[in-house]
Structure 1
Amino acid sequence: MRAILVSLLAILMPGLAWAGVVWRGDFETGNTSQYTRAQLVSADRLQVVSSPVYQGRYALKATVKQGDDPINSSGNRNELVYQGYEKEGSEYYYRWQVLFPQDYPSVKTWQVFTQWHHDGCCGSPPVEFFVYGEEIRLTLTDSVTPWKTALVRGQWQDFILHVKWSSDPAVGFIELWHNGQRVLSRYAHATMYAGDGIYLKLGLYRSDTVLPMGVVYHDGFVQGTRLEDVLPPVTQPPPDAGTPDAGAPDAGTPVPGPDAGSGEPDAETPPIVPTSPLPDTGATPPTLEEEPPRVGCSSAGGPLWMVGLLGLGGLLRRARRR
């Protein structure tokens, strides 16, 4: 019976840790070791820097020049790759921040800064964020673009993406928050190609027709199974902080999100999800000259676990009777 107990715990214990942060790619290691591998032509194209940053001490500076083609493929790129846990039917929240410097090139073609690529050899990524001219766009399979917004330079852009990964458009969906505002309610669409896996690519990948050098900064990437996993922790006031003004909103308390089971779009303006405040970059956003040298679906836990152990107890009792 001990062998049965060990086997049952081996099955149930992973569920206890399933809810929570799955992975961090926030560069707080001071390097790119959180990622699986890099696709780059030289070390200066993907640098971990200490300024500018959105959170913590470090961020990634990704640089692409015309002709950068480390994998002998279409376009020019320098990207980090992370082989994640996305499988058919899995569901995750992702949060990360991106900053486009004031001299970021404006070109009427694609410049991808974050993408979830498929294992297959060909075709556009199932989920990708890219700059086109003066717009930021989110595009899915079949070249569907459910969201776009104006490109803003010199300010950190905060994204939270909620994805149900599936090749079935009746199952898969996405949901998006931008700078603390939900800008896309649950949008049903295929988020994978049938039979393919998914992996993250972060950096800059663009058409080889773009001439000027491009630089983009990434920070704070985190993947979790719940919305609260990717939000900043609630900060408790110090003991002598006194009683807060009853009329002032509590900026550190998460606002309840929409009913996750409804799947219905909002008829009114979507609610704001609490995020870290955007840093005050001042009148003059960070420039390349200012940058210093390089440094460096739910939980299966409680109820299922308890039921499993109770059932095991019954097995043990019956075994003793025999």
Structure 2
Amino acid sequence: MASRLARITVGGVPRVVDLLSGAPAAGPAPAPARVWHYEALAVGADPVPNPWSEFHGLRTDQREILDVSSQGLGFARALRFNVQPGDTGWGGTSGTLRSEVRASIAQSGSVTVGSEQWWAWPTFFPADFNWDENNQFLIFTQWRHGGAGSGNPNVGLWSDVNENLMLWVRGGSGGAVSGDAQYEKTYNLGPIVKGAWSRFMVHQVWSDDPATGLVEVYRNGVLLHSAADANLYTGDTIYIKQGIYSAAGTQRQHFITHGPLRWGSTRDAVENLPPFV
């Protein structure tokens, strides 16, 4: 008897379906390659070294585990970050404020040219979020090059002074110092959602060639951006950081909260993570 199952592609996502019913075939759900979550941590606990490798910031109270179990989000714990004027000097740096966690290169997938990844996580900007430094940045999620040097992030999601959701994409040669990327693009994805959780999903095909690289950004299931761009520095890889990384001229304290982060090789592996609670 001929098989009634077939593999098709829907919206760029491979699926196995039953040819008679059209329903997805029964089978194990795809799993993320890695998940960073806070469910096992008590309120106020330190998220370093588990689940994150490092924390970059000056004050221990710049990161805080929150209880969000009453919000019906599917997870009970989230990680809130904050920066304020004067939070400069971490690691000998100047001119920027930091409250970030980072993963290792291996945890981030050890990507090379041609690697495909889907990333997903929820972020909460408070209703009074107000980035107040003109022509400067507040980054809340970034994929940075793995090599030596202090160059700009390959891919970064950030706020401008009008609280627009902005996207940087860089790649090709360079990466050692700020501003040396061979290819660099900046995109405005529209207003940041304040006072409610946003479920972000980012699809990346990593490449140092704009003809073969890809970056797509979704929010709450809606595609905000899709473009072919170089998003990898030549001969390099990436690691991910989350939290707040901003210019230092702000006159305010800023808070941003992130929920569980995961990455996988397909959209199905990350889009609908089973609830933790």
Please classify the TM superposition score into its range, dividing by the shorter chain length.
0.7 to 0.9
For residue 144 of structure 1, give the secondary structure of its aligned residue in structure 2.
strand
Query: Which amino acid in the other structure matches residue 266 of structure 2?
Result: R
Query: Conserved in 2, the CA contact under 8 Å of 1:147 and 1:184?
Result: no
Deviation at 1:102, TM superposition (A): 2.0
Q: 1:97 aligns with which of 109, 122, 128?
A: 122
* CA separation of 1:224 and 1:122: change in aligned 2, threshold 3 A: same
Structure that is richer in strand per residue: 2
Q: What residue number does 1:72 align with?
A: 92
Aligned match of 2:110? 86
Contact 2:121 2:258 in 1 (8 A): yes
Deviation string, structure 1 residues 84-134 (Cα, Å, up to 9, x no partner): 213212111000111111222232220000000112312210100000022
The structure 2 residue matched to 1:56, chosen from 71, 75, 80, is 75
Matches within 5 A, 1:1-16: none
* C-alpha spacing 1:106/1:234, structure 2 compared with 1 (3 Å): closer
Q: In the alignment, which residue of structure 2 is the partner of 1:170?
A: 211
Q: Please, which runs of 5 or more residues in structure 2 have no aligned partner?
A: 1-29, 171-182
Preserved contact between residue 84 and residue 254 of structure 2 (Cα < 8 Å): yes
Any conservation in 1 of the 2:38–2:79 contact (CA below 8 Å)? Answer: yes
Q: Match of 2:79, SS?
A: strand
**Number of positions where the alignment pairs a residue of Structure 1 with one of Structure 2:** 216
CA distance in 1, matches of 2:219, 2:154: 20
Letter in 2 for 1:222: R
Distance (Å, rounded) in 2 between the aligned partners of 1:50 and 1:123: 36
Q: Which amino acid aligns with 1:66?
A: P
| 77-86 or 27-36, which deviates more | 27-36
Report the counterpart of residue 247 of structure 2 in structure 1: 207
* 1:158 aligned onto 2:211: no
2:35 maps to what in 1?
Answer: 24
Q: Is 1:43 matched up with 2:60?
A: yes
TM-score, normalised relative to structure 1: 0.63
CA apart distance, 1:233: 5.5
- Give the CA deviation at 1:51: 3.0
1:144 aligns with 2:163: no
- Provide the rounded CA distance (Å) in 2 between the counterparts of 1:121 and 1:101: 34
Relative to its length, the structure with more helix (as a share) is 1
C-alpha separation in 1, matches of 2:62 and 2:131: 20
Letter in structure 2 aligned against 1:39: H
| Residue type at the aligned position of 2:117 | Y
Q: Determine helix, strand or coil for the equivalent of 1:193.
A: coil
CA-to-partner distance for each residue in 1:270-299, whole Å, 9 max, x for gaps?
Answer: xxxxxxxxxxxxxxxxxxxxxxxxxxxxxx
Instruction: Map 1:283-294 onto structure 2 (within 5 A).
Output: none
Alpha-carbon RMSD across the aligned residues, in angstroms, is 1.9
Equivalent residue letter for 2:228: A
Deviations 1:218-275 (CA, angstroms, capped at 9, x unpaired): 012111111001122689xxxxxxxxxxxxxxxxxxxxxxxxxxxxxxxxxxxxxxxx
Contact 2:189 2:224 in 1 (8 A): no
Instruction: For 1:205 and 1:195, locate their aligned partners in 2 and report how far apart those are by CA, in whole Å.
Output: 26
For the residue of structure 2 that corresponds to 1:209, the secondary structure is coil
Whichever residue aligns with residue 168 of structure 1, its letter is D
* Structure 1 SS opposite 2:262: strand
Q: Is the 8 A contact 2:131 2:250 kept in 1?
A: no
Shift of 1:180: 1.2
Q: Distance in 2 between matches of 1:162 and 1:105?
A: 28
| Aligned partner letter, 1:161 | V
Moved over 4 A (4+): none
